[in-house]
Amino acid sequence: MSQRIVVDPITRIEGHLRVEADIEDGKIKDAFSSGTMVRLLEEILKGRDPRDAWAFVGRVCGVCTSTHSLVSVRAVEDALGIIVPPNAELVRNLMFASLYMHDHVVHFYHLHAMDWVDVVNALKADPKKTSELAQSISNWPKSSPGYFSDLQKRIKKFVESGQLGIFANGYWGHPAYKLPAEVNLIGLAHYLEALEWQKEMVKVQTIFGGKNPHPNYLVGGMACSVTLDDMSGINAERLAYVKTILDQGKEFIEQVYIPDLMAIASFYKDWGSIGGGLGNYMAYGDLPTKGFNDPSSFKFPSGAILNKDISKIHEVDLRNDKEVEEYITHSWYSYEGGDQVGLHPWKGESKMNYTGPKPPFDHLDFSQKYSFLKTPRWKGNAMEVGPLSRMLIGYAHGRPEFKEVVDKALKDLDVPITALFSTLGRTAARGLESVLVANWAQEFYDQLISNIKNGDTRMAEQSLFQPSTWPKQAIGVGYGEAPRGALAHWINISDEKIANYQLVVPTTWNASPRDNNGQRSAYEAALIDTPVADANQPVELLRTIHSFDPCMACSVHLYDEHGKHINRISVVGD
């Protein structure tokens, strides 16, 4: 006899996600993922200046802030044939790297760690042993017995106050928590340190983009001119500032994040065979080193892997209308051609069609429509996107950097390569790619310095900035890798205005409802067979969901309410 549980809201994510699961014999037998908020930004973009789109779509998400703006300016540049100067590409890469380093650390400590780390149990730790353990896994200086002792006292006082704040009602003491008290204390200490650290990491974006969250981008390049002889632009002081932040960020990732990740993972190796799900992985690629028109130069390569077969990489073509298609069979929209067909984003059409129960309600009917997310498919396949997909595809391409970090992690944990296809693999991949990105950021920085030293200070190509220079009609695709996975925007420009704008975002790939054939998407598939010891405290369910780093605001599509237009924008979330 199965038992239905509802987890809504899923917290420690961006946005609004509801999961219902059927539990039988202590395991999840079936699961349903529902996005319960929609803003319809695609409709709002129509008729606006294409050069402004980055600002609108930037507001899709304040957590993976900047990633939608970046992909948006790429879409417009693709449509108008604008090639950005090398320095602008490097600055964009540096902002990208800063986002990854920030976002992955924040996800690990502030959104995911409490699924693995028992905060209250940390009170039982021996500070001296904690110190010895911390010093055995890292050179990070904040590791003395006194440091951990002081921290423990603070936590004790906090718990005794009875006001548990964000830690209230957690699943503390749940048998699924396996860490020794000392590791819990280290995890908690670094939760707090990471909270301080994160506000520094974003300053790369502030220097180049003026603010964070939501830094400014520019079609044709970046607005931050290089002006070595003026205080207004990117001068020696600004560059030195960037270097300092990048160095400190790399240090934190290497000395805190990775040692913690490996230490915690070593106690949860069983999660290397839980939460695998689809086994299909896809990445579009990102971080150009020779211009965006040369994908072979990307640090993150593109491709698709089917059925966990890393010996074969399939090519992905976003312009081919037979590859990416979206279904709305179980989504609160409707197509003129019926609810069973799939449409390429260019041909997308639909209107809002909420058919769920009238709120307040207890349950959704999963035989019907049950989410504001559409269901994208690649050649009919449900695909998982995100850090694990990127690492597997880099690995499958045989890139030495990828192989090095992945193989080392597998060896250190003493687990087989199949352990990657799991909840643990997903969480580990996020850390490993942070290491790569932190290293690459140093290369981008050095290249930027080298360019400036050689006299190239160009930061924006503005010869095609004025609408009078544009063709009457133009279409473009911008794509890239958001922290949570493959992201693409499709734009259609007509008479200097946006005629259509579509977004298919990572969390739509991962969190969408079933398709016309009843195939599960990544979240629903990964939850199958996840153990749940106590249906009232489903911490295991949260582990698998959080391993994807959900970002719901991105993932809701936009449709025409009246169904009069086709080629609507759909925002699917990173």
Partner 1 sequence: MSKVTKKNAFHHNKKQPHPLPSNLIYNLLVNNLINISMSNITKTQAPTYYDEVIRKGYSRRDFLTFCTTIAAYMGLNQSGIAQVTEALKTKPRLPVIWLHFQECTCCSESFIRSSHPIVADVLLDQISLDYTETLMAASGAQAEEAMQNTMKKYKGEYILCVEGSVPTAADGVYCMIGGKTSIQILEEAAENAKAIIAWGSCASNGCVQSAKPNPTKATPIHKILKGKTIIKVPGCPPIGEVMAAVIVHVVTFGRIPELDRTGRPKAFYSKRIHDSCYRRSYYDAGLFVESFDDENAKKGYCLYKVGCKGPVTYNSCGTMKWNNGVSFPIQSGHGCIGCSEENYWDNGNIYDRAAIFPGFGIEANADTVGKVALGAVAVGVTAHAIMTNVRKKKILQTIENEGKLGESELE
Scanning residues 455 to 474, which ones bind partner 1 (CB under 8 A)? 457-460, 462, 465
CB under 8 Å to 257, separation ≥6 — which residues? 104, 105, 108, 194, 431, 434
E strands present in 270-378:
281-283, 303-305, 324-327, 333-334, 351-352, 375-378
Please name the residue that has the structure tokens 């106590």. Answer: 534
Q: 125 near 152, Cβ under 8 Å?
A: yes
- Choose which of 23, 28, 31, 40 interacts with partner 1 (CB under 8 A): 40
Task: With contacts defined by CB under 8 A, name the span among 49-57, 253-261, 447-455, 515-523 that binds partner 1.
Answer: 49-57
Residue type, 385: V
Single residue of 522, 553, 569, 572 touching partner 1 by CB under 8 A: 553
Number of residues that bind partner 1 (CB under 8 A): 117
Binding mask 519-538 for partner 1 (x = CB under 8 A): -----------------xxx
> 5 by DSSP, 3-state: which?
strand
**Least gap, CB of 457 to partner 1 (angstroms):** 8
User: Any idea which residue has 């899709």 for tokens?
Assistant: 60
**397 and 342 Cβ atoms separated by less than 8 Å:** no
What is the Cα–Cα distance from 334 to 194, expressed in whole angstroms?
A: 44
> Considering only residues 104, 214, 430, 520, which one is a binding residue for partner 1 as defined by CB under 8 A?
214
Q: Say whether residue 315 binds partner 1 (CB under 8 A).
A: no
Nearer to partner 1, 116 or 300 (CB): 116
How far is residue 549's CA from residue 572's CA, in Å, rounded to a whole number? 14
Residues 89-148 that bind partner 1 (CB under 8 A): 110, 114, 119, 141-147
Radius of gyration (C-alpha) of the chain in whole angstroms:
23
Q: Does 211 bind partner 1 (CB under 8 A)?
A: yes
How far CA 520 is from CA of 374, 509, 512, 555, in Å, comes to: 12, 11, 8, 16
Residue 494 engages partner 1 in binding (rule: CB under 8 A): no
Of residues 325 and 560, the one with the C-beta less far from partner 1: 560
Which residue, 380 or 467, is less far from partner 1 as judged by CB? Answer: 467
Within 369-408, the residues that bind partner 1 by CB under 8 A are: 372
Query: Residue 493 has which token pair?
Result: 């420009």
Residues 55-84 that bind partner 1 (CB under 8 A): 55-56, 59-63, 65
Please choose, from the candidates 444, 462, 481, 446, the residue with its C-alpha nearest in 3D space to the C-alpha of residue 90: 444
The Cα diameter of the chain in Å comes to 74
Say whether residue 170 binds partner 1 (CB under 8 A).
yes
227 binds partner 1 (CB under 8 A): yes
- Closest contact distance (angstroms) between CB of 234 and partner 1 is 8
Give the residue with the Cβ less far from partner 1, 210 or 416: 210
Ranges within 317-376 binding partner 1 (CB under 8 A): 352, 354, 356-362, 372
Q: Name residue, tokens 């006001």.
A: 163
Nearer to partner 1, 149 or 447 (CB): 149
